[in-house]
Amino acid sequence: MKKEDPVKGKRNLYKEKIESDLVIVGGGMAGTCCAITAARAGLKVSLVQDRLVLGGNASSEIRLWILGATSHMGNNNRWAREGGVINEILIENLYRNPEGNPLILDALLLEKVDSESNIHLLLNTSVYDLEKRAEDQIDSVKAFCSQNSTEYNLKAPLFVDASGDGILGFLSGAAFRMGAELKSEFDEKFAPDQGYGELLGHSLYFYSKNTGKPVKFVAPAFANKEIAKLPRFKSYNLKEDGCRLWWVEYGGRTDTIHASEEIKWELWRIIYGIWDYVKNSGKYQDVANLTLEWVGTIPGKRESRRFEGDYMLTQKDVVEQREHADAVSFGGWALDLHPADGVYSDKPGCTQWHSKGVYQIPYRTMYSRNIKALFLGGRLISASHVAFGSSRVMSTCAHNTQAVAIAASLCINNKLLPADLVQDQWIKTLQSQLIQTGQYLPKINLVEKKDLAQGAEIHVSSEYHLLELPFDGSWKPLEFAMAQMIPVPVGKLPSLTLKIKAKSATTLRAELRNSQKLGNYTPDHHIEQITIPILKGEDFYTLKFNYQNDKPQYIFICLMDNDELEVQCTNTRLTGLLSVFHKFNKAVATSSIQEPPLNIGIDTFEFWVPERRPEGHNLAFRLEHPLKVYGKENLLNGIFRPTLQPNAWMSDRSDPSPELKLEWVEPQTIHKVNLYFDTDFDHPLESTLMGHPESEIPFCVKSYRIKDDMGKIVYAQKDNHQSINTINFDLPIQTKKLVVELDHPSDNIPAALFGILCYGKE
Ligand SMILES: Cc1cc2nc3c(=O)[nH]c(=O)nc-3n(C[C@H](O)[C@H](O)[C@H](O)COP(=O)(O)OP(=O)(O)OC[C@H]3O[C@@H](n4cnc5c(N)ncnc54)[C@H](O)[C@@H]3O)c2cc1C
């Protein structure tokens, strides 16, 4: 038994001191992906999260789906899913949880963090104070866990503020902003005025379910009884569960930090008011058996402080896709602002303006300009209010903060501070290390001197030549214009033969297009147009263009809409090959042409978007001559997803045992091999609510074997579904030859690999 006599004064809390290399405050997607990346880079990490589980707005407490540059597949950013740990998590979530149950994601995030022995995770622990070692440097932070009644002192040379509201930045005295910049400050013509408002509000959601028997609902006294007067409520329908209720937003006219509790109460009033109206107004059919299954208790916070780094990301960086020597991440969600009056506004719930392609995010936005060892992570990075409208989505936040993690490891290993890394030599090292982990940096290739594969001669058992996609698929009516994207190397574009079915004699207008800006997938440059007569019935037709391609790029063969026509598709799916349609996704756009008002600094352009599987088939076609775009040289080009070309070696589909061989003149000692597979970076992989038709990406090689020069299997994998496989050999292998045997993912999809890296002792 423990018995204590009365004490004079007061008792002290139980105290624990933890020292690590990096303290990360906030376990949202940004903090979580940062912690895992840093731990894998060898840092000792303390991850402090004030809530019960990880994931922040993506957790089961709030239930937002994780999104990023793929933008629900509703803009022209192709193969734009973020890489690294966030990708690994989304792919694993797809595998275990294609239905999008937020509780499964909670468990997955906990598992991922728990399996990193370098992470000390403190859940239910709130950071509330800090100590400084100098005016511009944090020494340690103080946190309290009410569950174990412990006060923590967390000491480290480096800190990351990924807390959303920026508790660490605020307490440490870091420069920050809250609200919107004037248009004039960064020449941002989309900057809102006071009428629209300067801050995005919070939102709360609910889920309902059918109980199979009548259930009554007595609304709590605080429920809003005048819900039908809300402007947005007119278009509400019962399918809007969970984060489809994003428009239930409030608080943008208040202090979104200190008024957070009041905002939550207002949102509860609205939520319960909506449900009261659904159940009891008599205006809804078939609601007798419905009940509330879940109502949010913690509002999702969109915006509060944004901290100032050595650079602020602005509208022009996003729209003009400006390039930065210190690019360590990228974005691609629309500039997405909301009226500050939220659900009480008569304006549309959001205004989204897309760029023509993805944009780079510079490293200088990711550390405080005045507090030396403080990194910025998540939504609070150094961005203007307008640019934040795009950079705030969770995959972008996570991807940025993965860059922070590798930057932190460079700082620790080389005794540097965050701002020191801006020098060219360090940025290049940072970029290389990031790309190896799967981070995607648009327009930047991996240059890795330590990669032994670069010194090997490569042989492959076969190479896919793009010549014919079998005429074995369904027919696609040309209700919308359709384009087949074709990766074309330098040289003449071959003619293309299609199979067309016509209800009556008509003409087909075909346009050849590419992107004005190399690397984009907005077909805004019209190269050539032809019109060909089509007879009633089904037949083959050949499209001949006179185009000579002077740089490797994707060319769009656009078949313009015609209600009389259908084209035949193929069942074959290939890495880096897509068809797109001139239509729009109403989740992120309002029309198939983005037509902004004049003078807001936004581009007008057409959306050409893919369809999701199980649709999304390529056209069946035969080319006049083969396009050799899947060569073995792609394995060593340091790009691990399609960009200007597919960037993959792909075996011929008739090859019974595809293999690649690396041969060296001298024996090599290999400790580690990285293989980069195709997990379809075009697919957004929304984490919650919205299910997916598959649990594994069909392009991904599932089984493979690695052999040494004696033919001995040194590694075998039978059940892969991940993008990157890192194989660490317990005993390094000595060999002059490394053979990787791949199995085709399926009959319709030949085996492909983006890259292979081999390492000696690090
Ligand atoms: C309603 C709504 C809809 C949105 N729609 C989408 C969408 O569809 N897809 C998308 O990707 N993004 C969406 N966003 C944006 C996105 O959710 C946020 O911008 C993003 O979550 C920010 O990530 P973060 O890691 O910085 O912050 P958060 O996700 O908020 O994570 C920060 C974490 O830090 C913790 N924390 C805070 N203070 C402390 C402290 N003192 N001590 C310890 N821990 C602390 C918090 O509890 C939280 O878990 C939406 C946002 C909202 C609110």
**Cα distance between residue 465 and residue 457, in whole Å:** 21
**Closest C-alpha to 715, from 672, 653, 660:** 672
Tokens of 328: 């360590």
Residues 1-29 pLDDT 10s:
999 999 999 999 999 999 999 999 999 99
Per-residue pLDDT, 237: 84
**Cα distance between residue 521 and residue 68, in whole Å:** 17
Per-residue pLDDT, 240: 84
| Ligand 1 atom at minimal distance to the Cα of residue 167 | 41
- Evaluate whether 742 touches 658 at the Cβ level (below 8 Å): yes
- State the average pLDDT over residues 369-385: 98
Residues linked to residue 501 through DSSP beta bridges, in sequence order: 538, 566
SS (H, E, C) 37-103: HHHHCCCCEEEECCCCCCEHHHCCCCCCCCCCCCHHHCCCCCCCCCCCHHHHHHHHHHHHCCCCCHH
- State the average pLDDT over residues 594-604: 97
Per-residue pLDDT, 737: 98
Banded pLDDT at 751 (limits 50, 70, 90): very high
Banded pLDDT at 649 (limits 50, 70, 90): very high
Per-residue pLDDT, 50: 98
SS (H, E, C) 374-394: EEECHHHCCECHHHHHHHCCH
**Backbone φ/ψ region at 251: left (φ over 0), alpha (ψ -120 to 50), beta:** left
CA 254 to chain centre: 30
Report in angstroms the alpha-carbon separations of 561 from 481, 585, 634.
4, 18, 36
**H-helix or E-strand spanning residue 23:** strand 22-25
**Cα distance between residue 760 and residue 222, in whole Å:** 66
Residues 241-261 pLDDT 10s:
888 889 999 999 999 999 999
Number of helices (H) and strands (E) in the chain: give both, helices first: 10, 42
Atom 14, ligand 1: which residue's CA is nearest? 393
**Closest C-alpha to 156, from 36, 45, 26, 38:** 45
- State the average pLDDT over residues 403-432: 97
Per-residue pLDDT, 306: 98
The single-letter code of the amino acid at 291 is: T
Evaluate if residue 448 carries a pLDDT over 90.
no
Per-residue pLDDT, 236: 85
Atom 31, ligand 1: which residue's CA is nearest? 28
**Cα distance between residue 602 and residue 594, in whole Å:** 9
**H-helix or E-strand spanning residue 486:** strand 482-488
Residues 343-356 pLDDT 10s:
999 999 999 999 99
Tokens of 81: 């899913």
- Evaluate whether 152 touches 144 at the Cβ level (below 8 Å): yes
Determine the distance separating the centroid of ligand 1 and the alpha carbon of 215, expressed in angstroms: 34
In whole numbers, what is the pLDDT of the chain averaged over residues?
97
| Ligand 1 atom at minimal distance to the Cα of residue 298 | 47
Tokens of 49: 């999260």
Tokens of 429: 């090292």
Neighbours of 255 (CB within 10 A): 13
Please, what's the largest Cα pairwise distance for the chain? Answer: 100
Per-residue pLDDT, 235: 78
Atom 19, ligand 1: which residue's CA is nearest? 392
Tokens of 425: 């030599």
Banded pLDDT at 533 (limits 50, 70, 90): very high
| Ligand 1 atom at minimal distance to the Cα of residue 396 | 11
- Evaluate whether 572 touches 748 at the Cβ level (below 8 Å): yes
Atom 22, ligand 1: which residue's CA is nearest? 379
Task: State the pTM of this model.
Answer: 0.97
- Evaluate whether 578 touches 480 at the Cβ level (below 8 Å): no
Lining ligand 1 with CB less than 6 A are: 25-31, 48-51, 56-57, 64-67, 126-127, 162-165, 167, 203, 243, 246, 300-302, 378-379, 392-395, 397
Evaluate if residue 762 carries a pLDDT over 80.
no
Tokens of 107: 């468990």
HSE-CB of 751 using CA atoms within 13 angstroms: 24
Residues 209-248 pLDDT 10s:
999 999 999 999 999 999 999 888 877 888 888 888 899 9
Residues 42-76 pLDDT 10s:
999 999 999 999 999 999 999 999 999 999 999 99
Neighbours of 15 (CB within 10 A): 10
**Cα distance between residue 569 and residue 751, in whole Å:** 21
Determine the distance separating the centroid of ligand 1 and the alpha carbon of 29, expressed in angstroms: 8
**Backbone φ/ψ region at 680: left (φ over 0), alpha (ψ -120 to 50), beta:** left
**Cα distance between residue 7 and residue 436, in whole Å:** 58
Determine the distance separating the centroid of ligand 1 and the alpha carbon of 17, expressed in angstroms: 27
Omega cis (within 30) before 614: yes
The single-letter code of the amino acid at 378 is: G
HSE-CB of 558 using CA atoms within 13 angstroms: 28
594-623 in b/e burial notation, b at 16+ Cβ within 10 A?
bebeeebbbeebbbbbbbeeeebbbbbbbb
Report in angstroms the alpha-carbon separations of 666 from 279, 662, 663.
76, 12, 9
**Cα distance between residue 233 and residue 273, in whole Å:** 11
**H-helix or E-strand spanning residue 394:** helix 394-414
Determine the distance separating the centroid of ligand 1 and the alpha carbon of 351, expressed in angstroms: 20
pLDDT > 70 in the chain, percent? 100
